[in-house]
Amino acid sequence: MHKGGRIIAFAAVFCLVVLSPFIVNLANAAPAPEASLDTPTINALSQKECVADAAYMRDNHMQMLDEWRNDVVRAGSREYESASGQVYEKSLDGTCLECHSNREEFCDSCHDYAGVQPYCWECHDTAES
C-alpha cells in the first residue's frame, strides 16, 4: 500500500505525456477555412444549387467523385440526378470545376487545412482555367 502514491504519480505523468500532443494541437488549432463561393459562374446563376447540399458535399465529395469516375469508366453512366431532380454530367471538369473554378481558394484551402493530397490533380490539370 506504500507504493500507491508512486503509482498515481506515474499514471498522472504517463497520461500527461500521452495526451500532450493533443492538448498542444487544441491550443494551437487554426479555424477551419470557409470555401469561397464567389466565382463569376456561381454569381451568374439565378438559382444557386450544387449537385448536393453543402453539408453532404463537405463530408462526401471524394466518395461522390470516386463513384462518378467508376460509373463513367466502368458502366458508361454519364448522368447524375440530384435529389431535386436536376440532371448533371458526372464530370469533375465539366460540372464541379465549372462553378468552383478557383482551385486555390475553393479546393486547396480546405485540403491543406486537413492535410490531405487528393489525387484528382494528377489527371485534372486546372492550370489553364
pTM greater than the 0.85 cutoff:
no
| Residue where the block lists cell 504519480 | 9
Q: How many domains does the chain fold into?
A: 1
Grid cell, residue 54, equals 453543402
Average pLDDT over residues 35-40: 80
3-state class of 13 per DSSP?
Answer: helix
Residue 26 lies in a domain: no
Residue 17 lies in a domain: no
CA nearest to 68, candidates 76, 56, 40: 76
CA distance 86 to 101: 21
Residue 2 lies in a domain: no
Residue 59 lies in a domain: yes
Render pLDDT for 61-73 as a digit per residue (tens, 0 to 9): 999 999 999 999 9
CA distance 49 to 81: 13
